[in-house]
Chain A
Amino acid sequence: MTPVPVTPSARRRGRPSRVLVYAALTVALAATLIPFVWMFLGSVKTEAELRQRPPTWWPQTFTWDNFTAWFGRLDIGTFFVNSVVVAAFTVLGTLVFCSLVGYALAKLDFPGKRVVFTLVLVTLMVPGVVTFVPLFVVVSKLGMVSTYPALILPFLAGPLGVFLMRQFIKDIPDSLIEAARIDGAGELRIFLRVVMPLCGPALATLAILTFLGSWNNFLWPLVVAQSEDMYTLPVALSLYSVGQNSTNYGVLLAGSVLIITPVLLLFVALQRYFIQGIAATGIK
């Protein structure tokens, strides 16, 4: 805090109210985090204890059984690899596609540029269900049902990524690009050597947003991944939770922990970029 001259009366008013704000925020934070706490604690409880009423907080008997179920009977390795592969290629593809077209829209002149950009803006408002049905028809016509491309390709055309990259690249001074051009650099070289190195923050934001979307996506994979070897983690969990196993509550909780933990760790480690990213997409 910068030292601001505080009148005695303001100081007297300030202190108790600040304590109140802290107290209120702490209560709100506890309420927000209760589902997580309960998930983690529940995942190491026995089935009998989970059925106990009133519910217990701290596990009476500690057990890893719920987790071993995922590593034994259920093929979590495959689901995990699927989720990682899909997310990795979706992020990579989105970064390449969106930064290329973002550069073209921001710095190059070509006929039809306005049409492309307007279309991108309009599709930002298109609800997912509008394209859902024909997209499924396209994918089944192309014979891609239950393949990685079906899980990845439809998400490389995200209008948000194009918008983000275009806005960011637009703010890079033209003089930098002109200087490179005068030095005889080609457009590809300018893009790779001048523009991309300056796009770090935007690329980080886009990578994080795309990764989150892909990792947590479940409706499309649920419809398109029809064989068990193509399930992603959320698909596996959601199918498991409606099957005859739905009564096996501890296993469901352990599955939730397994899906959420990698993202939560990533988030805590990179929280600055997450938050910058959200603010940037919003404000720009």
Chain B
Amino acid sequence: MRKIITSIFVFGLIVLTTVPTKSYSNLPTNEELQVGLSQEFENFNPMIMSMLATTWMYNMVGRTLMVLNEDAEWEPQLAKKIPSLENGLAERFTEDGVEKIRAVWEIVDNAKWGDGTDLTCRDFKFAREVALAPTVAITERETYEQVEEIIIDENNPRRCTFKYKEAKWNFNQIPKFYALPEHLERPIFEKYKEQPEGYEQHSLYTTSPTNPGLYNGPYVVTEMTLGSHTIFERNPYFFGGPAKINRIITKVISNTGTLEANLRSGTIDMISVLGMSFDQALAFNQRVQGRNLPYNVNFQPSLVYEHLDLNLDNPFLQDVRVRKALVYAIDRPGLTNALFGGKQPPAYHNLAPLDPWFTNDPKKIVVYPYRRREAARLLDDARWKLRNDGFRYNENGERLELTIMTTAGNQVRELVQVYLQDQWRSIGIRVRIQNEPPRVFFGQTTNRRRFTGVAMYAWVSSPESNPRSSLSCDRIPTEENGWSGQNYPGWCNERVTELLEKLDLEFDEQKRLNIIHEVLYHYTNEVPVIPLYYRSDISVTPINLRGYQLPGHQFSATNHVERWYLEDPKKMENR
């Protein structure tokens, strides 16, 4: 018996020690790349897809007129050129007393659907028709609604004029204006358009997702199993030339704790941006460097803005000195260095550094360094006196007490929450933690303003977008307005509201910048919201993957998937 055990043990040791630490032989080649995603996907009908995983994957098979590239600049994709007032492709005009805009979009000459049919303006016009049908459950209809009419050039079906119903400076930023293959989808739409959700349920994207004619991107879908995997193969008709990787397989691995194990056992070669949690990525990065594993762990600060909403109806929080004390007492650089290895930058306000409107100039906005004793002094000023139990009390004998709420089960937020509790405790504020499942938190607590003190969550917005919905006076959710609007703190500054109204209609870039900087000044000065940090996007790629860049905004890396290629592992070994 003992002999058997010993031999098993020895065998185990041999197996363990012979597993090579850095093995190039397991690296993927241009033949096939397997990508792990931690989230489920639905289907690739661009009208209805709403899951992040679907959008990530859609960009491998479908393209739109334009996209924000890795340097956060607009870049035409299906369009030849982005029309603007400066390049003469767009013009302002007045119709019935309303100022409007006309812009000419021209689709690249070789744009085709995956079955060889030409992609023309008719496909965009059809998409708009579907989007506006009352029976289709599209989430953001505004994109299509802002275009009043699409007029197709009689001589060139790839050239058309979009007539916008309002003259907004960002009329030409329509990255979510998708095209639908009219030649395939029109009959289905005509048949089911009277039935609620009928089109979506019978669309070819749902019933026959492997039909190549549905896609215009570098790849087409050749196999799809909901909840499990999708196989993408090269689209010979892609307008941007053939993609370099032959086949890409995406797999859903919803438990993030096993992503690393899957990666190292070879079930997947790469972890997409929808994958590891921050802590896992940090730890894995250490192991990758320590043991020289053949992966790159990519971190990219993103537009996701983690913050604390302060409910300004709370009598304690109505005093701006208390709010400022709360900010001064948070060691944000310490927080991000200690918990995030410095890889998620501290936030100044609601705009991320990637945003062209960003500023951290102390002349333009109010900047709060970590000054614990300054915070204590502000509270002393506000007549919150420290008592022997270590907490502060006002003249009525009320204790300075706040409830901080966030989404239960989100480990990073819960860590930060406990960290904040400790920091505020040190200036004499008692902090109670009460977390709720995301459904409850977003379903009734934030959007009905039921949090009494502080709510921690994140916003994500595209660069240069108007923050009106979360900052204007008229966007405070109330019973009367049916709880619409996202100004959850209940912050009302008339000047800010007025400035944000003007922002969309301002065509002068410098003036827009001035407007937004003034808004940011008020935002940072009055502290309705405490900025915490900007989240980072994370992905893990094999070391031989080239042409890949993590963008950090919601336009995914797959928008340039045709540039990805895998260097030959053998060549790498010879280096």
Instruction: Please say whether chains A and B are actual partners in one complex.
Output: no
Spell out A's residues near B (CB within 8 Å).
none
